[in-house]
Amino acid sequence: MTRYFARKIGLYILAFWAGVTIDWAIPRLMPGNPIEAYLARFSLNSQGSWTALYKLFSKAFGYNLPLWDQYWHYWDNLFHGNLGISIYAFPEKVTTMVAQAAPYTLALLVPAIVLSYVLGNRIGAIAARRKILDNTVLPLGYLFQAMPYAWLALAAAFYLAQLERWFPVQGGSAVGIASGFTWAYIWGLVSHWFLPFLTVFLVSFGGWSIGMRNLVIYELETDYARYLRALGARSRLVRRYAYRNAVLPQLSGLALALGTVIGGNIVTEVVFQYPGLGHLIYIAATDQDYSLLQGIFIFIIAGVLVANFLIDIVYIVIDPRTRLSMQGAVA
């Protein structure tokens, strides 16, 4: 469409380029040589075989080429959907591994983000006008916000899984049940999903509800709300307007908060050993599986950008100001 969209898409492309470049540059900028680090895993005895292998791997990973060529190859591979081969799960392709892990992460993140956002907004808006709710939701919201993800996850795993045994402690699906479209298998998925979901949900929920409460209180003090009250508008109408306007900054906040939630999600997956991307990137890091690491990094950045794109679209739909500025109609 017009300028607004062109600008946004330009920003996405720029951000993606920056992400990929950083991803490419890190191994080359860091002290030490990734190939040396890699060869250290093989406990080689003779100097000769070390040199031979070094040459081999340098060539295989393209480290012997000039930097520009390496950079070019990197992009070329990327566009062909080739993120390299995992060392940790040799000879699995990185893309395959990412594709296997991604659904788990999405199943955690998407409902956790959407539900915490929607419910947090609702509850926060109600808390803005109900003293009782305000006095309970607010302190709870602050408490959840102040909790480290890792600790909330550990505490939940300990109490609800270890002690009460309501949920399995770790993993993504029930052990010993064949995957397939069976109730047992699906139940296994759901029961393993619940606690990590709850952790991510609760921390975010606290933030959204507090944010919404404060925004609605602020909106109820604005001139347009005063005018409506002075002219005898029903309080429901005033609240509806206030809520709708308060959602806008919350939505841009959602775009900004994505990185934090993703970080929390990684930690949570590690605690529950949930087989998503967070757990995978953790394993990749501890096993020094560089291609896998870089592949996941690119995938996550792409995911953040897609999420931002979706948020932008929602924003355009609910805020007439951006919609009109897109048509260049603003006075």
Partner 1 sequence: MSDVDQAATSSAPVAPGAPLTGVRAPGAAPVGGAPLGRKAYSGGRRWEFLYFAVRNKKLVLGLGVEIIFVLAAIIGPYFAPYPPKQFVAPAFLHPSAKHLFGTSYFGQDVFSLLLYSLRNSYLVGFLGAAFAGVIGLGIGFIAGWRGGWLDEILQTFTYIVVMIPSLVLLIVIGAYLKSHSAFFEGVFIGVTTWPWVARAVRAQTFTLRQRDFVDLARLSGKRGPAIVLKDIAPNMASYILLAFILLFGSSMLIAVNYDFLGLGPTSGISLGDMLNLAELWSGLQLHLWWWFIPPGAAMTIMVAALLVANVGLDEVFNPKLRET
Partner 2 sequence: MSLSVRNLRIAYRTLRGDVQAVDDVTFSVADGEIMGLAGESGCGKSTLGNSLIYLEGRMRHLGGTVELDGKVLPISDDRAMNRHRMRDVSIIPQYAMSALNPTKKIGVLARDLLKSRGTKLAKVLPEFRRRVALVGLPDSVLEMYPFELSGGMRQRATMVISTLLNPSLLIADEVTSALDVSNQRAVGELLTEFRDRGYVKSMIVITHDLSILAQIADTIMVMYAGKLAEKADAGTIIDRPLHPYTQALLSSLPEVGVRYEEEELTGIPGRPPSLLDPPAGCRFRDRCPFAFDKCAEEPPFVELLPGHQVACWKAAQDVAGSAEREHEEAAR
* Residue list 256-275, contact with partner 1 (CB under 8 A): 256-260, 262-264, 266-267, 270-271
The nearest distance, CB 247 to partner 2, in angstroms, is 10
Q: Does 13 bind partner 1 (CB under 8 A)?
A: no
The nearest distance, CB 160 to partner 2, in angstroms, is 42
The nearest distance, CB 290 to partner 1, in angstroms, is 7
> Length of the chain in residues, anyone?
331
Q: Which of residues 222-251 bind partner 1 (CB under 8 A)?
A: 249-250
**What string marks each residue from 202 to 221 as x (binds partner 1 by CB under 8 A) or -?**
--x-xxxxxxxxxx--x--x
The nearest distance, CB 326 to partner 1, in angstroms, is 18
Distance of alpha carbon 89 from alpha carbon 295, whole angstroms: 14
Sort 47 into a burial class: Cβ within 10 Å, 0-12 / 13-18 / 19+: exposed
- The Cα-based distances of 171 to 189, 276, 302, 329 in angstroms read 9, 10, 26, 53
Distance of alpha carbon 318 from alpha carbon 59, whole angstroms: 53
- The Cα-based distances of 155 to 76, 143, 241, 326 in angstroms read 45, 14, 40, 48
Shorter beta-carbon distance to partner 1: residue 116 or 173: 116
Q: Does 165 bind partner 1 (CB under 8 A)?
A: no
Which of partner 2, partner 1, none is residue 234 near (CB under 5 to 8 Å by kind)?
A: partner 2
The residue count for binding partner 1 (CB under 8 A) is 81
Q: Does 19 bind partner 1 (CB under 8 A)?
A: yes
- The Cα-based distances of 157 to 19, 47, 192, 195, 298 in angstroms read 34, 49, 11, 7, 30
Question: Which residues lie near partner 2 (CB under 8 A)?
Answer: 222-224, 226-234, 237, 241, 244-245, 248, 318-321, 324, 329-331
Radius of gyration of the chain (CA): 25
Which of partner 1, partner 2, none is residue 302 near (CB under 5 to 8 Å by kind)?
A: none
Residues with Cβ < 8 Å from 171, sequence gap 6 or more?
A: 192, 272, 273, 274, 275
